[in-house]
Structure 1
Amino acid sequence: MRAYHFLAGEKATATKMNLGEMVGWGVLAANAPTTASTTEVAVISATGVTLRTGRAYQFELRGLLQHASASTTDLVAMRLRRTSTTGTLIRNWGSQVVSNRGTVSRNNFVNLSHIGANDTGSDLVTTVLATYSWDTGSTSTFTFAATVATPATLAIFDIGPSSDYPGIGPIT
Protein backbone atom coordinates (compact mmCIF):
# COMPACT_ATOMS: atom_id res chain seq x y z
CA MET A 1 0.00 0.00 0.00
CA ARG A 2 1.37 3.41 -0.94
CA ALA A 3 1.61 6.19 1.59
CA TYR A 4 0.22 9.65 1.02
CA HIS A 5 2.75 12.47 1.33
CA PHE A 6 1.63 15.88 2.52
CA LEU A 7 3.73 18.82 3.59
CA ALA A 8 3.00 20.81 6.75
CA GLY A 9 -0.04 23.01 6.12
CA GLU A 10 -0.86 21.30 2.83
CA LYS A 11 -4.53 20.47 2.28
CA ALA A 12 -5.50 16.88 1.46
CA THR A 13 -7.64 17.04 -1.69
CA ALA A 14 -9.17 14.31 -3.84
CA THR A 15 -6.64 15.06 -6.59
CA LYS A 16 -3.70 14.75 -4.22
CA MET A 17 -5.07 11.51 -2.77
CA ASN A 18 -4.81 9.96 -6.24
CA LEU A 19 -2.07 7.34 -6.21
CA GLY A 20 -0.59 8.67 -9.44
CA GLU A 21 0.28 7.06 -12.73
CA MET A 22 3.04 4.46 -12.78
CA VAL A 23 5.67 5.52 -15.31
CA GLY A 24 8.43 3.04 -14.47
CA TRP A 25 8.72 -0.47 -13.10
CA GLY A 26 11.62 -2.79 -12.42
CA VAL A 27 11.60 -6.30 -10.93
CA LEU A 28 14.50 -8.30 -9.56
CA ALA A 29 13.61 -12.02 -9.40
CA ALA A 30 17.09 -13.39 -8.62
CA ASN A 31 19.89 -12.08 -6.40
CA ALA A 32 21.62 -8.92 -7.61
CA PRO A 33 25.39 -9.07 -8.10
CA THR A 34 27.06 -9.02 -4.67
CA THR A 35 29.24 -6.24 -3.30
CA ALA A 36 32.04 -6.15 -0.76
CA SER A 37 33.51 -2.79 -1.74
CA THR A 38 32.62 0.89 -1.95
CA THR A 39 32.10 0.55 -5.73
CA GLU A 40 28.40 0.88 -6.49
CA VAL A 41 26.63 -2.14 -7.97
CA ALA A 42 23.28 -1.99 -9.79
CA VAL A 43 20.49 -3.68 -7.85
CA ILE A 44 17.44 -3.10 -10.00
CA SER A 45 16.52 -0.79 -12.87
CA ALA A 46 13.54 0.59 -14.74
CA THR A 47 14.33 1.38 -18.38
CA GLY A 48 12.69 3.76 -20.84
CA VAL A 49 11.26 5.96 -18.07
CA THR A 50 9.96 9.36 -19.23
CA LEU A 51 10.17 12.01 -16.52
CA ARG A 52 8.18 14.94 -17.91
CA THR A 53 9.23 18.46 -17.10
CA GLY A 54 7.17 20.25 -14.47
CA ARG A 55 6.11 16.97 -12.82
CA ALA A 56 6.85 15.37 -9.44
CA TYR A 57 7.72 11.68 -9.10
CA GLN A 58 7.71 9.20 -6.25
CA PHE A 59 10.35 6.47 -6.38
CA GLU A 60 9.78 3.34 -4.25
CA LEU A 61 12.30 0.54 -3.70
CA ARG A 62 11.38 -2.63 -1.81
CA GLY A 63 13.49 -5.73 -1.30
CA LEU A 64 15.69 -7.83 0.96
CA LEU A 65 19.28 -7.13 2.01
CA GLN A 66 21.61 -9.65 3.60
CA HIS A 67 25.31 -10.17 4.22
CA ALA A 68 27.50 -13.20 4.52
CA SER A 69 28.89 -12.72 8.02
CA ALA A 70 27.37 -13.41 11.40
CA SER A 71 28.24 -9.96 12.74
CA THR A 72 25.56 -8.08 14.61
CA THR A 73 25.24 -4.99 12.41
CA ASP A 74 26.71 -3.73 9.16
CA LEU A 75 25.83 -0.80 6.94
CA VAL A 76 25.24 -0.74 3.21
CA ALA A 77 24.97 2.50 1.20
CA MET A 78 21.89 2.76 -1.07
CA ARG A 79 21.50 5.28 -3.89
CA LEU A 80 19.05 6.08 -6.68
CA ARG A 81 20.65 7.12 -9.99
CA ARG A 82 19.94 7.87 -13.62
CA THR A 83 21.53 5.96 -16.50
CA SER A 84 24.27 3.93 -14.72
CA THR A 85 26.04 3.19 -11.42
CA THR A 86 28.09 6.36 -11.96
CA GLY A 87 25.23 8.37 -13.50
CA THR A 88 23.42 11.41 -12.15
CA LEU A 89 22.42 11.02 -8.51
CA ILE A 90 18.67 11.31 -7.87
CA ARG A 91 18.80 10.43 -4.16
CA ASN A 92 21.43 9.28 -1.71
CA TRP A 93 19.41 7.11 0.66
CA GLY A 94 22.54 6.75 2.77
CA SER A 95 23.42 3.95 5.14
CA GLN A 96 20.93 1.15 5.64
CA VAL A 97 21.34 -1.14 8.62
CA VAL A 98 21.79 -4.83 7.86
CA SER A 99 21.40 -6.61 11.18
CA ASN A 100 22.09 -10.33 11.08
CA ARG A 101 21.97 -10.79 14.87
CA GLY A 102 24.55 -13.54 14.65
CA THR A 103 22.94 -15.43 11.75
CA VAL A 104 24.55 -15.53 8.32
CA SER A 105 22.39 -14.27 5.38
CA ARG A 106 19.38 -13.19 7.45
CA ASN A 107 16.94 -11.17 5.30
CA ASN A 108 16.52 -7.47 6.18
CA PHE A 109 13.54 -5.73 4.57
CA VAL A 110 14.30 -2.49 2.71
CA ASN A 111 11.49 -0.02 1.98
CA LEU A 112 12.87 3.25 0.61
CA SER A 113 10.98 6.14 -0.95
CA HIS A 114 11.86 9.50 -2.48
CA ILE A 115 9.95 12.35 -4.11
CA GLY A 116 11.74 14.44 -6.72
CA ALA A 117 10.78 16.90 -9.46
CA ASN A 118 11.89 17.38 -13.04
CA ASP A 119 12.02 21.15 -13.49
CA THR A 120 14.81 21.08 -16.09
CA GLY A 121 12.61 22.51 -18.86
CA SER A 122 12.72 19.31 -20.90
CA ASP A 123 11.50 15.75 -20.58
CA LEU A 124 14.08 13.18 -19.47
CA VAL A 125 13.92 9.73 -21.05
CA THR A 126 16.21 7.61 -18.92
CA THR A 127 16.98 4.46 -17.01
CA VAL A 128 16.44 4.77 -13.25
CA LEU A 129 18.38 2.38 -11.06
CA ALA A 130 18.98 1.61 -7.42
CA THR A 131 22.57 0.87 -6.42
CA TYR A 132 24.29 -0.44 -3.31
CA SER A 133 27.81 -0.62 -1.94
CA TRP A 134 29.64 -1.56 1.26
CA ASP A 135 29.57 1.27 3.79
CA THR A 136 30.93 0.14 7.15
CA GLY A 137 31.09 -2.81 9.50
CA SER A 138 32.57 -6.17 8.55
CA THR A 139 34.25 -6.69 5.21
CA SER A 140 31.67 -9.31 4.37
CA THR A 141 29.79 -9.62 1.09
CA PHE A 142 26.37 -7.97 0.79
CA THR A 143 23.57 -9.41 -1.32
CA PHE A 144 20.36 -7.75 -2.46
CA ALA A 145 18.37 -10.97 -2.34
CA ALA A 146 15.41 -11.87 -4.52
CA THR A 147 13.55 -14.86 -5.94
CA VAL A 148 10.50 -15.28 -8.15
CA ALA A 149 8.45 -15.76 -4.97
CA THR A 150 10.05 -12.77 -3.17
CA PRO A 151 11.00 -10.26 -5.88
CA ALA A 152 12.49 -6.84 -5.26
CA THR A 153 10.70 -3.96 -6.97
CA LEU A 154 11.41 -0.41 -8.11
CA ALA A 155 8.27 1.60 -8.89
CA ILE A 156 8.12 5.16 -10.22
CA PHE A 157 4.92 7.19 -10.07
CA ASP A 158 3.98 10.56 -11.59
CA ILE A 159 2.30 12.20 -8.59
CA GLY A 160 1.35 15.55 -10.09
CA PRO A 161 2.68 19.02 -10.83
CA SER A 162 6.02 19.79 -9.19
CA SER A 163 4.49 23.04 -7.91
CA ASP A 164 2.37 20.92 -5.55
CA TYR A 165 5.58 19.81 -3.78
CA PRO A 166 7.62 22.95 -2.98
CA GLY A 167 11.15 22.33 -1.75
CA ILE A 168 11.54 18.75 -3.00
CA GLY A 169 14.79 17.57 -4.58
CA PRO A 170 15.42 18.19 -8.26
CA ILE A 171 15.87 15.47 -10.84
CA THR A 172 18.51 16.57 -13.36
Structure 2
Amino acid sequence: MIDLIKTLTEAWGPSGYEHHIRQIIHQEVEPYADDITIDPLGNLICRVGQGGKKVMVAAHMDEIGVMATYREKKTGYMRFANIGGLMTTTLRGNRVKFEDGTVGVIGVHANGGDKLDDFYIDVDDGSGDVIVPEGSPAGFWREMQVRGKRVIGKAMDDRIGCV
Protein backbone atom coordinates (compact mmCIF):
# COMPACT_ATOMS: atom_id res chain seq x y z
CA MET A 1 0.00 0.00 0.00
CA ILE A 2 2.84 2.41 0.83
CA ASP A 3 4.34 1.87 -2.64
CA LEU A 4 1.01 2.73 -4.25
CA ILE A 5 0.64 5.89 -2.14
CA LYS A 6 4.17 6.91 -3.10
CA THR A 7 3.44 6.35 -6.81
CA LEU A 8 0.20 8.33 -6.63
CA THR A 9 1.49 11.27 -4.61
CA GLU A 10 4.71 11.68 -6.57
CA ALA A 11 3.00 11.53 -9.97
CA TRP A 12 2.84 14.70 -12.03
CA GLY A 13 -0.65 16.14 -12.61
CA PRO A 14 -1.50 19.81 -12.14
CA SER A 15 -5.11 20.80 -12.77
CA GLY A 16 -5.90 20.55 -16.47
CA TYR A 17 -2.88 18.29 -17.11
CA GLU A 18 -3.88 15.06 -15.36
CA HIS A 19 -2.99 12.64 -18.18
CA HIS A 20 -0.01 11.08 -16.35
CA ILE A 21 -1.81 10.46 -13.06
CA ARG A 22 -4.94 9.30 -14.88
CA GLN A 23 -2.90 6.61 -16.65
CA ILE A 24 -1.45 5.39 -13.34
CA ILE A 25 -4.88 5.20 -11.70
CA HIS A 26 -6.33 3.48 -14.78
CA GLN A 27 -3.67 0.75 -14.54
CA GLU A 28 -4.28 0.30 -10.82
CA VAL A 29 -8.07 -0.07 -11.02
CA GLU A 30 -8.29 -1.98 -14.30
CA PRO A 31 -8.15 -5.47 -12.72
CA TYR A 32 -11.15 -4.60 -10.51
CA ALA A 33 -13.38 -2.70 -12.93
CA ASP A 34 -15.88 -4.15 -15.39
CA ASP A 35 -15.88 -1.00 -17.50
CA ILE A 36 -13.56 2.02 -17.64
CA THR A 37 -14.19 5.14 -19.69
CA ILE A 38 -12.69 8.61 -19.92
CA ASP A 39 -15.20 11.36 -20.55
CA PRO A 40 -14.55 14.50 -22.65
CA LEU A 41 -13.42 16.40 -19.52
CA GLY A 42 -10.81 13.77 -18.68
CA ASN A 43 -12.68 12.13 -15.82
CA LEU A 44 -11.83 8.47 -15.30
CA ILE A 45 -15.10 6.57 -14.78
CA CYS A 46 -14.84 3.01 -13.47
CA ARG A 47 -17.83 0.73 -13.11
CA VAL A 48 -18.04 -2.48 -11.10
CA GLY A 49 -20.98 -4.84 -11.52
CA GLN A 50 -24.29 -4.32 -13.29
CA GLY A 51 -27.76 -3.74 -11.98
CA GLY A 52 -28.56 -3.39 -8.30
CA LYS A 53 -28.02 -0.28 -6.26
CA LYS A 54 -25.54 2.30 -7.45
CA VAL A 55 -22.90 3.91 -5.30
CA MET A 56 -20.62 6.65 -6.54
CA VAL A 57 -17.18 7.25 -5.11
CA ALA A 58 -15.76 10.58 -6.29
CA ALA A 59 -12.23 11.86 -5.83
CA HIS A 60 -10.03 14.27 -7.71
CA MET A 61 -6.65 13.40 -9.17
CA ASP A 62 -5.33 16.87 -9.94
CA GLU A 63 -3.07 19.02 -7.81
CA ILE A 64 -2.23 22.70 -7.52
CA GLY A 65 0.59 23.93 -9.70
CA VAL A 66 2.03 26.84 -11.61
CA MET A 67 2.41 27.87 -15.23
CA ALA A 68 5.46 29.63 -16.67
CA THR A 69 4.34 32.97 -18.09
CA TYR A 70 7.58 34.61 -19.25
CA ARG A 71 11.35 34.50 -18.85
CA GLU A 72 13.23 37.50 -17.52
CA LYS A 73 15.96 38.38 -20.02
CA LYS A 74 18.43 39.69 -17.43
CA THR A 75 18.23 36.85 -14.88
CA GLY A 76 16.73 33.97 -16.86
CA TYR A 77 14.16 33.51 -14.09
CA MET A 78 10.71 32.29 -15.09
CA ARG A 79 7.74 34.26 -13.89
CA PHE A 80 4.60 32.23 -13.31
CA ALA A 81 0.88 32.18 -12.69
CA ASN A 82 -0.99 29.92 -10.32
CA ILE A 83 -2.93 26.81 -11.29
CA GLY A 84 -5.31 26.45 -8.37
CA GLY A 85 -5.04 28.09 -4.99
CA LEU A 86 -1.56 29.10 -3.83
CA MET A 87 -0.53 30.62 -0.52
CA THR A 88 2.40 32.92 -1.20
CA THR A 89 3.58 32.58 2.39
CA THR A 90 4.53 28.96 1.66
CA LEU A 91 6.02 29.29 -1.85
CA ARG A 92 9.64 30.29 -1.18
CA GLY A 93 12.06 27.39 -1.58
CA ASN A 94 9.54 24.94 -3.00
CA ARG A 95 10.64 22.85 -5.94
CA VAL A 96 8.45 22.53 -9.01
CA LYS A 97 8.71 19.98 -11.81
CA PHE A 98 7.74 20.68 -15.39
CA GLU A 99 6.31 17.97 -17.61
CA ASP A 100 9.63 17.59 -19.45
CA GLY A 101 11.34 16.76 -16.13
CA THR A 102 12.96 20.17 -15.58
CA VAL A 103 13.02 20.98 -11.87
CA GLY A 104 13.15 24.56 -10.62
CA VAL A 105 13.03 26.25 -7.27
CA ILE A 106 10.75 29.12 -6.35
CA GLY A 107 12.45 32.26 -5.09
CA VAL A 108 11.56 35.85 -4.37
CA HIS A 109 13.57 38.96 -5.18
CA ALA A 110 15.35 40.55 -2.20
CA ASN A 111 12.98 43.50 -2.15
CA GLY A 112 9.97 41.32 -2.94
CA GLY A 113 6.91 41.00 -0.83
CA ASP A 114 4.18 38.42 -0.65
CA LYS A 115 2.40 39.06 -3.96
CA LEU A 116 2.61 36.33 -6.59
CA ASP A 117 4.29 38.82 -8.94
CA ASP A 118 7.24 39.01 -6.52
CA PHE A 119 8.12 35.33 -7.03
CA TYR A 120 10.04 33.56 -9.78
CA ILE A 121 11.20 30.05 -10.67
CA ASP A 122 14.92 29.46 -11.12
CA VAL A 123 15.39 26.65 -13.63
CA ASP A 124 18.97 27.49 -14.63
CA ASP A 125 21.57 24.75 -14.26
CA GLY A 126 24.45 27.23 -14.47
CA SER A 127 24.89 26.89 -18.21
CA GLY A 128 22.15 29.32 -19.18
CA ASP A 129 20.84 26.72 -21.62
CA VAL A 130 17.74 25.57 -19.72
CA ILE A 131 14.69 27.01 -21.38
CA VAL A 132 11.17 26.33 -20.16
CA PRO A 133 8.68 27.49 -22.80
CA GLU A 134 6.10 30.04 -21.77
CA GLY A 135 2.81 28.29 -21.03
CA SER A 136 4.53 25.21 -19.55
CA PRO A 137 2.71 23.85 -16.49
CA ALA A 138 4.53 22.54 -13.42
CA GLY A 139 3.51 20.66 -10.31
CA PHE A 140 5.12 20.94 -6.91
CA TRP A 141 7.82 18.33 -6.41
CA ARG A 142 8.43 16.54 -3.12
CA GLU A 143 9.30 12.94 -2.43
CA MET A 144 6.94 11.12 -0.12
CA GLN A 145 8.32 10.18 3.28
CA VAL A 146 7.23 7.63 5.86
CA ARG A 147 7.88 8.70 9.44
CA GLY A 148 6.81 5.98 11.78
CA LYS A 149 3.03 5.71 11.41
CA ARG A 150 2.82 8.94 9.40
CA VAL A 151 3.07 9.46 5.66
CA ILE A 152 4.09 12.91 4.41
CA GLY A 153 3.80 13.97 0.79
CA LYS A 154 2.20 16.28 -1.72
CA ALA A 155 -1.25 15.76 -3.24
CA MET A 156 -2.36 13.34 -0.51
CA ASP A 157 -5.84 14.83 -0.30
CA ASP A 158 -6.15 14.61 -4.05
CA ARG A 159 -4.86 11.14 -4.71
CA ILE A 160 -5.64 8.82 -1.79
CA GLY A 161 -9.35 8.69 -2.58
CA CYS A 162 -8.71 7.72 -6.22
CA VAL A 163 -8.01 4.03 -5.57
Point out which structure has higher relative CO (alpha carbons under 8 A, 6+ apart).
1
Larger radius of gyration: 2
Greater share of residues in helix:
2
Q: Which TM-score applies when normalising by structure 2?
A: 0.26
Q: Which TM-score applies when normalising by structure 1?
A: 0.25
